[in-house]
Amino acid sequence: MTTPPVAEGGEGPGATAARLIGRAMTRERALSGTLSEVTLTGGRVVMVKRGDAPGAVRAEAAGLYWLADTGTVRVPAVHGHDERWLVTDRVPPGRPSGEAAARFGRDLAALHAAGAPAFGSPPPGGPKDAYIGLAPMRNIPGTDWPRWYAERRVLPYLRRAVDDGTVRPTEAAVVERVLERLPELAGPAEPPARLHGDLWNGNVLWGADHHVWLIDPAAHGGHRETDLAMLHLFGCPHLDRVLDGYQETAPLADGWADRIGLHQLFPLLVHAVLFGRGYAEQALAVARAALAR
């Protein structure tokens, strides 16, 4: 069994949950090096997550509150947090179903429609210097999506990948040409949507209550097609039903399916920075396909 993570000063997840919630811990079980399941007196079970990067916990907590405020998608309740630890509800696991997927699609469309002040705006109380997974992500507002997406989402990770030797300078030029053409490739202008921001399948939980729950947001204002592109990137059960529910509630602009690759450039380059060359090659393939349109 993985040893429960312990913070500086000796406090582990069980003691942290007891301190933040005000109930004694009766059991703790480590799920990874940073995540534990803790049972408290009275039988309440919570998840306790350690954030090692400065501002990471505050960013995640602010994102969960911002998504929950819409009353649309389901997210675990935040029971407490400090600069190092985040305590949330545990989501009892269930099985994926088409009905839950269609409902999730409708809820996701409503979340996006709740809007954001600008592209790149952080959640209220969230830091500008946030994270997507383990990668830093700066939330600097902009009003023009193609320009903001190029400057604040794609280029920072492309430059990092070049500096690390994961992407060659000649290959980076392919992505840069796509960014130059973004105004014509991006489709009709849309208002800033309220995004989960890291909507890959691992952050989509199918609950025992027959609802979909979302965890680990990198929430910010963005283009709604970006969340959908993330669902496509790593697969999602019953994705066709998710899209049906979404389209029933808020139809997507014509040609959205042809733009999936454009929105995947950002997460693919993040993964290239974190995990290496394989994701860089996927990003380059997406870029070449966009230029061929």
Q: Which of 107, 198, 216, 227 is catalytic?
A: 198
Give the Cα separation of 120 and 178 in Å (integer): 20
Could you report how far apart the first and last alpha carbons of the chain are, in Å?
51
Say if residues 250 and 242 touch (Cβ distance below 8 Å): no
224-234 and 98-113 helices, crossing angle to 10°: 150
**198 tagged catalytic:** yes
Residues linked to residue 183 through DSSP beta bridges, in sequence order? none
CB 103 within 8 A of CB 245: yes
What backbone phi and psi angles, to 5 degrees, belong to 149? -60, -40
Cα–Cα distance, 21 to 7 (Å, whole number): 18
Single out the residue of 98, 16, 28 nearest to residue 57, CA to CA.
16
35: helix, strand or coil: strand
Q: Give 274-279's long-range contacts (Cβ < 8 A, gap of 24+).
A: 274/133, 274/134, 274/135, 276/166, 277/166
- Phi first, then psi, for residue 197 (nearest 5°) are 95, -20
Catalytic annotation, residues: 198
